[in-house]
Amino acid sequence: MIQVQDVTKLYGERRALGPVSFQVSAGDVVGFLGLNGAGKSTALRILACDLLPSSGEVRIDGKDIVDQALDVRTLVGFLPDRPPLYPEMTVAEYLRFVACLRGVPAAHAGERADEAARRTHVDRVAGAMIGSLSQGYAQRVGIAQAIVHRPRLLILDEPFTGLDPVQIIEMRALIRGFAREHTVLLSSHNLGEIREICDRILVIRAGALVAAGTEAELTAHMHGALRIEVTVRGSGATACASALRVAGVTGARVRAEREGLCDLEVDAGDDVREALCRDLVSAGLGVLRLDRAQRELEQAFMELSRGEGEAA
Amino acid sequence: MNAVGLIFRREMGAFLRSPIGYVIAATVLCIDGLLYNAFALGGRPRLSAEVMHDFFYFSSGTTMVAAIFLAMRLLAEERQMGTLVLLRTAPIRERDIVLGKFLSALCYLTLITVATLHLPLLVMVHGKVSWGHLFVGYSGLMLLGAAALAIGLLGSALAPNQLVAGVTGAGLLVLMLVLWLAARVADPPVRGLLEQLALHARHFAPFMDGVVHLRDVFYYLAVTFFFLVCSTKALEVRRWR
């Protein structure tokens, strides 16, 4: 769906991005992760055809974003970090306007606007002036305008900014729902959101792509192993011995023991959670908790975002 | 509806729904009325044609000021509010954006200008109005207004916010107006060139007397076209910056 080859973007003398190269397949939900100012928004604005790259090539659905810009723009829906809304329009008027602007025939614009409003749950406020909406609704209208023309690629720049926890949960579900019909590319500096939603993560630092892959691949890339945290009812020594028998486990150690419970840390070259659980249970241990280490990706992100040497 | 029509409609809606459109219209009508009473009607008895001449002279000033105020928000406001990205990522060309916005501002300026029609018609109370003079004078106002709008639009395309857009547009407009002053201190053939380029002095004067020269019409259309092209290019260049 997206092919990016050696793309750079210069603002005057300053290099904001690149050179970066990556590919995104159709139907993927991919997250751009990086600290503020890392170059995420620049990359997304290039993909949305808002900016042109200083060098390199970008193809979306096989079409070049420079030579076939108008064709590409019909394929893309874009929500910038600040929703592009006209406060003096009603939600329904605005969505109809955007639908027509993005090439939907006038005869179908109303229908598409209604559909986008329904999908983003802003149909209840369709007659309200945009200027009177809360931040959460404004963000939803921003997403509605991005999907109103049924784009193949949906680009969302910091879609969770300014939302409260309930709105974040709703927004997360909304974006996951889009994955069935659109390829979704979103940026965030919030690791939790990215890991919840995305199939793949692209980590960007100082304009350069420093890592790409699934959450497991990134943590494995950083630490050479996947870390699993386990809490069992039973002896720590038995649990350690049992864990070490599982194929793929490279290390196991007891972190804490208290009141008959034991916390273990298991290192593995691969995701062995299923096998590990079976083995612990067959060893007569009660498995109370078994999960990938919560801090693993955070640690990897910190190291990748700030530079491995710096973080260490 | 094509992109120009869409943007035109939205902009007209914005003018009619936001206070700024009404504030500009009210201010222009008020100042036009005051100037008309104080200078065109006041003082010694005069011929109807002289009153019309003065009316179009003062109206040309208020039209240019109104044009700058209307134009300064066209692109700079979109940039300030973050909505320009919506237009830039849509499958439309920069020239459609510029043309749609220009035509909407011109249409609104026309509404304001036409609303002053009762002022010259007051001449009919004690004198005679030449309909030809009236038509030519208003045509001149619209041509001058279109040129001033295009100049203001370039200011709006270049500036990061409305204030800077207004100052830039007004600066460019004043520069175009005072070229006749520069012509006074220049030697031929530069003098002739500067006189021909000046926005008001030589080209608007015939309209005030109800006289149309094709060269003046062509001049205003050329200035409008030139600044609209510059605005389009300014928008296009921003994609590369």
Number of Cα atoms under 13 Å in the Cβ half of residue A13? 0
Tell me what the mean pLDDT of segment A7-25 comes to.
Answer: 88
Contact B10 A86 (CB under 8 A): yes
Whether pLDDT at A26 is above 70: yes
Q: Binning pLDDT at 50, 70 and 90, where does residue A260 land?
A: confident
Whether pLDDT at B12 is above 80: yes
DSSP A132: G
Sign (positive or negative) of CA dihedral A213, A219, A222, A224 = negative
- CA-to-CA distance for A282 and A179, rounded, in angstroms? 39
Pick left, alpha or beta for residue A19 (phi over 0 → left; psi -120 to 50 → alpha; otherwise beta): beta
Q: Are residues A1 and A47 in contact, defined by beta-carbon separation less than 8 angstroms? A: no
pLDDT (tens digit per residue) in A114-143: 999 998 888 999 999 999 998 889 999 999
Which candidate in A67, A86, A93, A148 is best for mutational testing of the B interface (most B CBs within 10 A)?
A86
Contact A101 B89 (CB under 8 A): no
Residue A311 has what pLDDT? 41
A1: amino acid identity, one letter: M
Contact B241 A11 (CB under 8 A): yes
- CA-to-CA distance for A161 and A79, rounded, in angstroms? 12
Residue A211 has what pLDDT? 82
The better pLDDT of the pair A265, B39 is held by: A265
Q: Out of A11, A73, A82, whose CB is closest to B82?
A: A82
Which residues of chain B have a CB within 8 Å of the CB of A100?
1, 6
pLDDT (tens digit per residue) in A44-92: 999 999 999 999 999 999 999 999 999 999 999 999 989 999 999 999 9
Whether pLDDT at A312 is above 60: no
Distances in Å between the alpha carbon of A43 and those of A8, A35, A59, A202, B93?
A: 9, 14, 13, 11, 22
Helix (H) or strand (E) holding A264: strand A261-268
End-to-end CA distance of chain A: 37
DSSP lists the bridge partners of residue A200 as A30
Residue B120 has what pLDDT? 84
Q: Are residues A223 and A293 in contact, defined by beta-carbon separation less than 8 angstroms? A: no
Residue A308 has what pLDDT? 53
Tell me what the mean pLDDT of segment B95-113 comes to.
Answer: 96
The better pLDDT of the pair A35, A77 is held by: A77
Whether pLDDT at A309 is above 50: no
CA distance A172 to chain B (A): 23
Q: Are residues A270 and A226 in contact, defined by beta-carbon separation less than 8 angstroms? A: yes
- Name the percent of chain A lying above pLDDT 90: 38
Q: Binning pLDDT at 50, 70 and 90, where does residue A145 land?
A: very high
